[in-house]
């Protein structure tokens, strides 16, 4: 696309803000179509699976770096954000951050009732006012496709509303108002509706099946069997779609796949899906401890003897502080995210962050247009809510290339008494196939003017020979109170005391025995004073040297290797 034609596109999109009908958006879509075609040329549709990965029709690996965009599944019946920014602006901001796919939520109630969307949710998009839910859903998908963002449709709930609990009526893939037959019919309708749009690549059959959902067992709760029925129904009308099947227990448990895998009528269309949140864990002390927790649930599908395609369809953290993203304290979500994101980079796992939203929906705790505490975008939907969060997600995008991540051990914080030493573990996790020698170094920073900074130590290097992580010990040594010779002077009056004592003895010869003892004591006085910080007979004194200054410190460990960018990780500790 030439610069002049792109400017024309911008003019049309800008005019849409004052349009009286959504139809002007079609002009913008046609104009931007050239850009979408250019993006599509580098990625041949349709997609399928090969081994453990998603690939295009030429067999090239396709990495899914996605975001969740919620709202259409809820009581507003439309994606959130359209009250704050034009649709084109939101999509442009998201694309600029590097995301290439979206998990787009919908409900059976939205599809079947297709109500008009309230104007309160569209104030920044007047051209959409008065339109029904599915019409706007179409426009959102088209805008995403025009920007080269792939779409995975997610049946989030049956009855429209905020998700999820064990009593919200959406625990299974059906309920009293929307039976399984409706669930299947709605899926087939949407699969057929977007069959001609190659950017709609997948069907996430159901969000977070949970108790009483089971993997096998009774037909009324057997999510495994239902997923096979639903997946085959979708493929019967749109054989190009990928079928995403979540685990049970809020999508946190895919252990049943080991003995009872999903079988679809078309090969190379199945992707298993796990969800992962830091608040699900009571805390863990290291990267290896995290791996041990997820391996029996779903990690074995990645690292086992028969790897399967796996997508982490939801994970998220708070956006209120940098400790939400990176922390050595197990009480912070950043501690979990350090391990989780390193695991994703290590094994090249596809993922989708919860959520892109800057604001929430009706029915959520805060209500419509209140700040989303896990959002990538800010509350005005035009930039990052937390730069550190955006940067972390971008580091997880495979385009970042091979490298390593450093994951410190979690805990409640290291406290060291002056004069003592401590150590902690730092895990080096290879990313995107890196192997080789990793060189390590460390430095210590602390309070301004601190005396006797602690010393740190790390191995000179560690070797990465495969996808597994390796550990390195980081040592910290502090200084305690010690004696130290410094220039000094004789204590005033020390010699005078000795002379006076001798004269007293001469005047008391009759009591010579007692005086002899006194003489010995008096002569010893200067030497005793020397041992207490007084004269040492050489013109110096020996006061105690100060210990390491109390306060907050940090060890910065840096890892470097040939052909990759160096990375650093701070490990805070306290001296007191």
Active site members: 208, 314
In sequence order, the 6+-apart residues with CB closer than 8 A to the CB of 567 are 403, 404, 405, 406, 558, 559
In sequence order, the 6+-apart residues with CB closer than 8 A to the CB of 169 are 158, 159, 175, 176
The span from the first CA to the last CA of the chain, in angstroms, equals: 63
> DSSP assignment, residue 452?
S
The Cα–Cα gap between 561 and 513 comes to 81
The Cα–Cα gap between 524 and 399 comes to 78
Interior CA angle at 268 toward 264 and 273, to 5°? 75
The Cα–Cα gap between 272 and 224 comes to 11
In sequence order, the 6+-apart residues with CB closer than 8 A to the CB of 148 are 35, 36, 39, 40, 95, 100, 199
The Cα–Cα gap between 22 and 87 comes to 11
Please report the DSSP string for 406-436 in residue order. EEEPPBS-EEE-TT-EEEEEEEEEEETT--E
Of 133, 135, 132, 152, nearest to 144 (Cα)? 152
Please give the structure tokens belonging to residue 100. 């290439």
> What are the beta bridge partners of residue 452?
none
> DSSP assignment, residue 96?
H
**String of b and e for 168-177 (b: at least 16 CB within 10 Å)?**
eebbbbbbee
**String of b and e for 508-529 (b: at least 16 CB within 10 Å)?**
eeeeeeebeebbeebeeebeeb
**String of b and e for 90-116 (b: at least 16 CB within 10 Å)?**
bbbbbbebebbbbbbbbbbbbbeeeee
The Cα–Cα gap between 102 and 547 comes to 56
The Cα–Cα gap between 573 and 532 comes to 35
| Surface-to-core class of residue 359, CB atoms within 10 Å of its CB (0-12 exposed, 13-18 middle, 19+ buried) | buried
The Cα–Cα gap between 7 and 97 comes to 21
Place of tokens 């990690």: 299
> What are the beta bridge partners of residue 487?
540
> DSSP assignment, residue 540?
E
State the pairing for strand pair 486-487/470-477.
unpaired
């Amino acid at each position: 696309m030439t610069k002049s034609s792109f400017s024309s596109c911008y003019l049309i999109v800008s005019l849409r803000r004052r349009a009286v009908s959504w139809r002007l958006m079609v002009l913008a879509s046609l104009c931007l179509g050239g850009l979408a075609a250019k993006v599509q040329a580098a990625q041949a549709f349709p997609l399928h699976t090969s081994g453990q990965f998603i690939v295009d029709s030429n067999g090239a690996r396709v990495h899914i770096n996605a975001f969740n965009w919620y709202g259409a599944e809820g009581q507003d019946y439309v994606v959130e954000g359209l009250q704050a920014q034009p649709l084109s602006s939101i999509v442009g901001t998201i694309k600029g951050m590097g995301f290439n796919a979206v998990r787009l939520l919908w409900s059976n109630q939205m599809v079947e009732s297709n109500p008009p969307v309230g104007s309160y949710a569209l104030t920044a998009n007047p051209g959409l006012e008065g339109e029904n839910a599915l019409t706007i859903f179409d426009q959102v998908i088209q805008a995403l496709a025009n920007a080269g963002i792939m779409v995975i449709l997610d049946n989030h709930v049956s009855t429209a509303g905020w998700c999820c609990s064990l009593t919200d009526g959406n625990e299974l893939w059906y309920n009293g108002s929307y039976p399984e037959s409706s669930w299947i019919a709605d899926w087939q309708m949407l699969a057929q509706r977007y069959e001609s749009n190659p950017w709609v690549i997948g069907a996430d059959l159901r969000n977070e099946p949970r108790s009483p959902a089971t993997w096998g067992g009774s037909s009324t709760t057997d999510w495994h069997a239902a997923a096979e029925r639903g997946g085959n129904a979708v493929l019967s009308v749109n054989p190009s779609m990928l079928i995403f099947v979540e685990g049970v227990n809020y999508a946190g448990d895919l252990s049943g796949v080991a003995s009872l895998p999903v079988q679809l009528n078309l090969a190379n269309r199945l992707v298993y899906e796990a969800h992962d949140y830091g608040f699900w864990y009571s805390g863990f002390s290291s990267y290896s401890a995290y791996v041990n927790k997820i391996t029996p649930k779903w990690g074995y599908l990645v690292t086992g003897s028969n790897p399967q395609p796996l997508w982490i369809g939801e994970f998220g953290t708070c956006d209120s502080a940098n400790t939400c993203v990176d922390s050595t304290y197990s009480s912070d979500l950043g501690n979990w995210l350090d391990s989780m994101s390193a695991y994703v980079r290590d094994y090249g796992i596809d993922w989708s962050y919860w959520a892109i939203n800057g604001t929430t929906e009706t029915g959520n705790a805060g209500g419509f247009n209140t700040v989303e505490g896990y959002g990538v975008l800010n509350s005005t939907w035009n930039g990052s809510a937390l730069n550190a969060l955006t940067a972390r997600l971008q580091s997880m995008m495979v385009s970042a290339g091979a490298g390593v991540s450093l994951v410190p051990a979690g805990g409640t914080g290291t406290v060291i008494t002056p004069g003592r030493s401590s150590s902690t573990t730092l895990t080096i996790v290879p990313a995107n196939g890196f192997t080789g020698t990793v060189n390590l170094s460390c430095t210590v920073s602390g309070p301004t003017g601190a005396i006797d900074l602690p010393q740190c130590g790390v191995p000179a290097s560690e070797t990465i020979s495969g996808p597994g992580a390796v550990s390195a010990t980081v040592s910290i040594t502090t200084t305690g109170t010690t004696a130290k010779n410094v220039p000094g002077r004789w204590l005033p009056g020390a010699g005078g005391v000795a002379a006076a004592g001798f004269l007293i003895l001469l005047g008391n010869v009759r009591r010579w025995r007692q005086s002899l003892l006194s003489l010995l004591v008096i002569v010893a006085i200067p030497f005793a004073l020397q041992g207490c910080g007084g004269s040492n007979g050489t013109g110096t004194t020996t006061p105690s040297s100060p210990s390491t200054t109390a306060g907050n410190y940090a060890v910065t460990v840096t890892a470097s290797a040939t052909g990759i960018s160096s990375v650093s990780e701070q490990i805070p500790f306290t001296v007191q």
